[in-house]
Amino acid sequence: MTEKLKNAAEAILFSCGEPVSTVEIAEALGVSNRLAVDIIEALQAEYDKERRGVKIIKLADSYQLCSREDYFEFIRNVTEPRRRQALTAPTLETLSIIAYNQPITRSRIEFIRGVDCTASIAKLSERGLIDEVGRMDTPGKPILYGTTDEFLRCFGLSDISELPELSEAPQQEDFLKNSEE
Amino acid sequence: MTDKVLRFSLEVYDGPLDLLLNLVRKNKIDIFDIPIAEITSQYLDELHRMEEADIEISSEFLVMASQLLLMKSRALLPSEEPTEDEMTPEQLAERLEEYRKIKEAAKMLDEIQFSSEALFFKKPEKLQKGPIENVNMEKDLLFEAFKSVLSRVEDRLPPKKENFQGIVGREKVSLPDKIRDVLKFVNTRKKTSFESIFESSKTKGEVVTVFLAVLHLIARGKIKMHERGGKITITKSGDKA
């Protein structure tokens, strides 16, 4: 791996700003996907080792450059305060149904929650956390929803597989344990 | 007056499953071993309480209530054949368990929803497009403008008798007359748009003749044509646009 390729990858990530896929990086550098991943990871390690001002985060099959949390306080001195708006409990429920069951139709989401989910689905779409990812091949071709890169980024995940694991149904013994509490 | 009791601690449920799950927790019972009769009566009590507190009860709560009542009656009359879309206690347990998991997941997502708050991202770069090439399209522009005038005349509804004159007769439009008209029109206004010259033209023949008159006047240098941003203006010779 040459220093030049690593620098080129750095330049690409800086220029694009948005997440750049492994395939795009590999094509731009003229190397295999595997090598592209090695290059990015080497760059990533370098940034981390030196606690540089920027770092590289992985989002599904893409990489993105962003500032390092260590320097948040400093950045805050030069930027406008952010509007921090938490998702409401019903919206979070809808989001977790989609995150754990994607791709999923609206009717299935509503079956699981037992209530109408039009508003929370609209809210999540508006905030870019979910998107239409296709249509189900059944009569009516219902829309299938899935989470976005923005969702991963927002929740600090590199991949959907990093979602916290859900505890299984409490078995008989678990139940006994629980009832003792 | 004083016997009105204010209730502050009334729970607001996010749907019938949320209410049921609350009852299951409150009673410390196993989701997979729910005493249907008992839960049903507690469920209905809760609905009544909501009603008293003027909380709107959505139809989903009522659907669940009827399903619970049906399940309860099935337990009393086990000989009856259940219908296909009827909920069984097992299905209810599955739904509650699935919903319980989702609530748990939502709580976890809530905890990590600001994970990237301390990170800043650069806005995506806008791809720069090349400069717009300036091609001299004056002639085409004129042609297009003429076509649009023509079509506007044709669009005028309802079709007038004159529209058939090309077929059933001959209209009298003389070029020298139109040349005079156009020159007068331009002279009185000094500056006018290409389209407005045709405002008084009512037939295709007239439009064509006016167009010819404009060409004549340009050729003779009596009027001038200017183009700016796709719009054509006509001025008297010697006057600037």
- Cβ-in-10-Å burial (0-12, 13-18, 19+) of A124 comes to buried
Q: Residue B40: inside a domain, yes or no? A: yes
Residue to substitute from A78, A92, A166, interface B, most B β-carbons within 10 A: A92
The fraction of chain B above a pLDDT of 90, given in percent, is 4
CATH, residue B207: 1.10.10.580
Q: Provide residues of B within 8 Å CB-CB of chain A.
A: 14-18, 28, 30-32, 58, 60, 64, 95, 97-99, 101-110, 112-125
pLDDT score recorded for residue A13: 92
pLDDT of B50 higher than 50: yes
Contacts of A87 in chain B (CB under 8 A): 110, 113
Q: Residue B123: inside a domain, yes or no? A: no
Predicted complex: ipTM over 0.85: no
Q: What are the residue ranges of helices labelled H in chain B?
A: 16-26, 36-52, 59-76, 89-112, 138-155, 165-168, 175-189, 204-219
pLDDT score recorded for residue B132: 61
A89-162 fold? Arc Repressor Mutant, subunit A (1.10.10)
Residue of B nearest to A176 (CA): B30
Regarding whether B163 and B74 lie in a shared domain, the answer is no
Q: Do domains A3-76 and A89-162 have the same CATH topology?
A: yes
Among B58, B108, B115, select the one facing A156 at the smallest CB separation: B115
Distance, in Å, from the CA atom of B19 to the CA atom of B42, rounded to the nearest integer, reads 10
Distance, in Å, from the CA atom of B187 to the CA atom of A31, rounded to the nearest integer, reads 71
Q: pLDDT averaged over chain B?
A: 79
Q: Treating both helix axes as pointing N-terminal to C-terminal, what angle do B36-52 and B59-76 enclose, rounded to 10 degrees?
A: 150
Residue of B nearest to A86 (CA): B113
pLDDT score recorded for residue B70: 87
Q: Give all strands (DSSP E) within chain A, no chain letters.
A: 20-21, 54-59, 62-67, 104-105, 130-135, 143-147
Q: Residue B52: inside a domain, yes or no? A: yes
The highest-confidence range among A4-8, A13-17, B148-152, B163-167, by mean pLDDT, is A4-8
pLDDT of A171 higher than 90: no
Among A66, A112, A157, select the one facing B102 at the smallest CB separation: A112
Number of domains in chain B: 2
How large is the C-alpha radius of gyration of chain B?
41
Chain-chain contact of A17 with B121 (C-beta, under 8 angstroms): yes
Q: Which of A86, A106, A92 is nearest to A146 (CA)?
A: A106
Residue to substitute from B64, B104, B116, interface A, most A β-carbons within 10 A: B116
Q: Which of B221, B52, B102 is nearest to A93 (CA)?
A: B102
Contacts of B97 in chain A (CB under 8 A): 169
Residues of the domain holding B142: 138-236
Domain boundaries, chain A: 3-76, 89-162
Q: What is the pLDDT of residues A47-56, one digit of tens each?
A: 999 999 999 9
pLDDT score recorded for residue A41: 94
Backbone conformation region of residue B30, classed left if phi is above 0, alpha if psi is from -120 to 50, else beta: beta
Residue to substitute from B28, B91, B101, interface A, most A β-carbons within 10 A: B101
Q: pLDDT averaged over chain A?
A: 87
Q: Residue B67: inside a domain, yes or no? A: yes
pLDDT score recorded for residue B71: 85
Pick the more confident residue, A116 or B139: A116
Among B17, B112, B125, select the one facing A156 at the smallest CB separation: B112
Q: Which of A142, A87, A49, A67 is nearest to B107 (CA)?
A: A87
Contacts of A58 in chain B (CB under 8 A): none
Whether A74 and chain B come into contact, CB under 8 Å, resolves to no
Chain-chain contact of B64 with A114 (C-beta, under 8 angstroms): yes
**pLDDT (mean) for B3-17:** 67
Chain-chain contact of A96 with B109 (C-beta, under 8 angstroms): yes
Whether A116 and chain B come into contact, CB under 8 Å, resolves to yes
Q: What is the pLDDT of residues A7-16, one digit of tens each?
A: 999 999 998 8
Q: Residue B129: inside a domain, yes or no? A: no
Confidence label for A78 from pLDDT (cuts 50, 70 and 90): confident
pLDDT score recorded for residue A55: 93
Chain-chain contact of B99 with A153 (C-beta, under 8 angstroms): no
Regarding whether B201 and B146 lie in a shared domain, the answer is yes
Q: Residue B207: inside a domain, yes or no? A: yes
pLDDT of A177 higher than 50: no
Spatial neighbors of A34 by CB under 8 A, at least 6 apart, are none
Contacts of A114 in chain B (CB under 8 A): 15-18, 60, 64, 95, 99
Among B17, B109, B119, select the one facing A113 at the smallest CB separation: B17
Are B39 and B31 spatial neighbours (Cβ–Cβ below 8 Å)? no
Whether A15 and chain B come into contact, CB under 8 Å, resolves to yes
Distance, in Å, from the CA atom of B182 to the CA atom of A107, rounded to the nearest integer, reads 68
pLDDT score recorded for residue B166: 60
Q: Residue B65: inside a domain, yes or no? A: yes
Q: What is the pLDDT of residues B82-109, one digit of tens each?
A: 677 778 888 888 999 999 999 989 988 9
Regarding whether B101 and B58 lie in a shared domain, the answer is yes
Q: What is the pLDDT of residues A134-168, one digit of tens each?
A: 998 888 899 999 999 889 988 888 888 888 887 76
Instruction: Name the CATH code of domain A3-76 (choices 2.30.290.10, 1.10.240.10, 3.50.50.100, 1.10.10.10).
Output: 1.10.10.10
Among B60, B103, B124, select the one facing A18 at the smallest CB separation: B124
Q: Which of residues 85-114 of A touch B (CB under 8 A)?
A: 86-87, 89-90, 92-93, 95-97, 99-100, 111-114
Residue of B nearest to A74 (CA): B118
pLDDT score recorded for residue A34: 93
Q: Residue B230: inside a domain, yes or no? A: yes
